[in-house]
Amino acid sequence: MTDRDLTAAMTDEELAREARAGSRRSFEELAARYRRRLFVYLRPRLASAEDAEDLVQETLLKLYRNIGSYDPACRFSTWLYTSAHRLAIDAFRRGAAKARLASAAAGTWAQPAPGAGGEGGAAGEAGPSGLWEAARALGGDRFRVLWLRYGEDLTIAEIAAVLGRTGLAVRVLLHRARTELARRLGPDLRPLAPVAVPRPAPRH
């Protein structure tokens, strides 16, 4: 078995520990595993797919710079999504500020662009599952909490850490999201399962 095969077989936490110790290969494996998943998570909050791609790159760059602060006692995905969530909030605020300035210059007050955040997330590139497409159409934190719980299999406590909310608030949000999804899908609703995220092909 080659070094590449060994790296591909490692857990996220093992890779993060090695990346923290200076392994470039381990960092690249983490980036390959999470690039698409981060895009799916961030896309509904931003105005375009290009903005989401840029923010994924920014998240991975921040990961590279700050991997030394990763605590091996924590789940890696929780740590990464917390960082991505904060960057998304900052990006949304910057976009909203620019929109207000442009509106003031034009003498009008523009509404946020569809898909730029809040409850009106766009629904175009969420993933291979029709059920996940419907979940994405919920927009805002409703989609995010569903993705983190069923797409990434995070616990309620881990989701609370990512979103900066209490465990109770996450439970309420998750219940409301599932209820709304059930209302939209009716008898077609099935239990949400982890989305089929492409993984790197085995290396030889």
Encode pLDDT of 103-147 as tens digits: 333 443 333 333 333 333 333 333 335 777 888 888 788 999 999
Q: Domain count for the chain, please give it.
A: 1
Residue 201 lies in a domain: no
Encode pLDDT of 179-204 as tens digits: 998 888 875 555 555 444 434 344 44
The answer to whether the beta carbons of residues 35 and 28 sit under 8 Å apart is: no
Mean pLDDT along residues 155-173: 94
> Could you count the other beta carbons within 10 Å of the beta carbon of residue 96?
16
Does 173 have pLDDT greater than 80? yes
- Domain enclosing residue 76, as ranges: 3-188
CATH of the domain at 69: 1.10.1740.10
Residue 23 lies in a domain: yes
Residue 200 lies in a domain: no
Residue 72 lies in a domain: yes
Residue 198 lies in a domain: no
Residue 165, exposed/middle/buried by CB under 10 A (0-12, 13-18, 19+)? Answer: middle
What are the structure tokens assigned to 138, written together?
Answer: 């919920």
Q: Which residues of 54-89 are buried (b: 16+ CB within 10 A; e: fewer)?
A: ebbebbbeebeeebeebeeeebbbbbbbbbbbebbe
